[in-house]
Amino acid sequence: PGEAAYPIRDLGELGQRARDVLAANDLGTMVTAAPNLYPHMWSWDAAFVAAGLSTMSVARALQELDYLLAAQWNSGMIPHIVFSDVPGYFPDVERWGTRGASPEGVQSSGICQPPVHATLLRRIVERATAAGGEDGRLAEEFARRTLPRWIDWHAWLRNTRGGDGSGLLTIYHGWESGMDNSPRFDGPYSRVRPGEMEPFVRTDTLKVTDHSQRPSDEEYSRYLWLVQQMADVGFDDARLPKVMAFQVKDVFMSAIFAAANEDLAVLAEQFGHSEEAPQLRQWSQEFRQGVDATVDQGTGLARDRDVLTGEWIGLPTIAGFAPLISTGSQPLLDRQLGIFEGPDWTGDPRLAFPLPASTSTTYEGLKPRQYWRGPVWPVMNWFLAHCLRRRGDEERYRQLREASLAQLMEGHFGEYYEPFTGEPLGSMDQSWTAAVALEWLA
Ligand code: 9YW
């Protein structure tokens, strides 16, 4: 893929190319997740992209978050896709059947994605405040104005997806996890039996022509069936638990929620909503404990749970490191860091770079070129490192930064990378990959 001039010569050039990628993917209203494969705004991508944009323009970064917020549903849910008018992505808004459920004039999907927003907003606000002047003023105005909206989002997650007191959020579709076809979901998906459905034609496989890098048709028919199940009940939160054939307690998303509640509490205290902070801190605590309680004492990894069968899902995927995101107890963190740096993960000598793959590189189900079944995702590297640095681990942040930048120097800003060869896979010029490159360099 791409033209000549790869690889990149130095970090200055890497930064320039990353800025070029974001500029090229910018429709003016939104930065699309990727130029060809994903011509719309994805919820968690938008948060990372906004952080990347803030290294160039705080105003443009906040505009991105405003655009996402304009798609927030009455319930408080922030949808996982906000559609642009660019054609060619499937499932489109018609297939979703969300007209009427989403806000007037907005085209969106009807599910959510991991709530990284408050964590990235805090990052942007800190950057803008440090710069001061107009940037600081804009960020403060934005925080004061939008905090009630972010708090609504968190309240929706807590009450409709985690109201059972487990400290874990339920997802009704693998897409909500952001790790679409991770082996974590193979068990739950195996029990999803698609019924009568409109026929469909995928567009992703027209764009990523090596189909082995994408989910299978079998997987896609289950994904579409779940969309139909939701549409059939009008995306009514109260009815989803009664009808959905896929219901999973997502430990990684829950850890992200724990961290984001802490970050939102800090912002609330700083920007005029301090009365909400204790509630947010309590949710943070509840989900931190929920995540810790999933850890398998044998493997040391956190687990998801299939709500419909009650089974734990303890596969060796990157989600097993959820406590590194939510900041679990110290003995647990020490154990997890040992595993993270051991031979099944970043210490595997066969790796091109010492970075975490989406599944353990020694897992028998590893598919090193297929999406969330093995490749390394640059956005995950940065996010994990950011969370580690939050609790003072500068050393590991520095190590991950060095490895991640070395990986990105090949220059294509791939969506994901083959762990052993470092080959870029999926979409090239992926926005959140460029955004985290800018974060590493900031
Ligand atoms: C799809 C945009 C999205 C990410 C997801 C990732 C992928 C979309 O791309 O899903 O159609 O498969 O799995 O996490 O938000 O980058």
Distance 178 CA to ligand 1 centre (A): 6
Q: Hey, is 275 helix, strand or coil? A: helix
pLDDT of residue 199: 87
Q: According to DSSP H, which parts of 157-185 are helical?
A: 174-177
- Can you say how many angstroms the Cα of residue 409 is from the centroid of all Cα atoms in its chain? 23
pLDDT over 50 (residue 2) = no
Sheet with 169-171, side-by-side order of all strands: 169-171, 248-250, 304-306, 312-313
For the chain, what percent of residues have pLDDT higher than 70? 99
- Angstrom distance (rounded) from CA 73 to CA 370: 33
pLDDT of residue 207: 86
99-122: average pLDDT? 96
Per residue in 394-438, pLDDT tens? 999 999 999 999 999 999 999 999 999 999 999 999 999 999 999
| Nearest ligand 1 atom, CA 431 | 16
Higher model confidence: residue 275 or residue 213?
275
333-359: average pLDDT? 98
pLDDT over 50 (residue 260) = yes
Q: Which residues are catalytic?
A: 180, 415
Within 6 Å (CB) of ligand 1, which residues are found?
Answer: 33, 38, 42, 44-45, 178, 180, 204
47-72: average pLDDT? 98
- Angstrom distance (rounded) from CA 106 to CA 108: 6
Per residue in 291-322, pLDDT tens? 999 999 999 999 999 999 999 999 999 999 99
> Mean of the per-residue pLDDT values for the chain?
96
pLDDT of residue 100: 86
pLDDT of residue 371: 96
For the chain, what percent of residues have pLDDT higher than 90? 91
- On the question of a cis peptide bond just before residue 91, with omega within 30 degrees of 0, the verdict is yes
84-94: average pLDDT? 93
Per residue in 129-142, pLDDT tens? 999 999 999 999 99
For residues 426 and 37, the answer to whether their CB atoms sit within 8 Å is: yes
Contacts of 374 (CB under 8 A, 6+ apart): 357, 358, 359, 361, 363, 366, 367, 368, 419
Q: pLDDT category, 245, cuts 50, 70, 90?
A: very high
pLDDT of residue 5: 58
- Angstrom distance (rounded) from CA 291 to CA 441: 31
Ligand 1, atom 12, residue with closest C-alpha: 180
Ligand 1, atom 6, residue with closest C-alpha: 178
| Nearest ligand 1 atom, CA 430 | 16
pLDDT of residue 335: 97
- Angstrom distance (rounded) from CA 122 to CA 269: 12
42-66: average pLDDT? 98
pLDDT of residue 6: 73
From first CA to last CA, the distance across the chain in angstroms is 27
- Angstrom distance (rounded) from CA 196 to CA 228: 10
pLDDT over 90 (residue 263) = yes
| Nearest ligand 1 atom, CA 432 | 16
pLDDT over 80 (residue 379) = yes
Ligand 1, atom 16, residue with closest C-alpha: 33
Ligand 1, atom 5, residue with closest C-alpha: 178
108-116: average pLDDT? 98
pLDDT over 60 (residue 80) = yes
- Angstrom distance (rounded) from CA 156 to CA 127: 28
| Nearest ligand 1 atom, CA 37 | 11
Ligand 1 pocket test, pick from 25, 38, 84, 120 with the greatest ligand atom count within 8 Å of Cβ, gives 38
> Cα–Cα distances in Å, from 230 out to 90, 202, 287?
17, 20, 26
Query: Strand 304-306 relative to strand 312-313: parallel, antiparallel, unpaired?
Result: antiparallel
pLDDT of residue 4: 47
Distance 272 CA to ligand 1 centre (A): 35
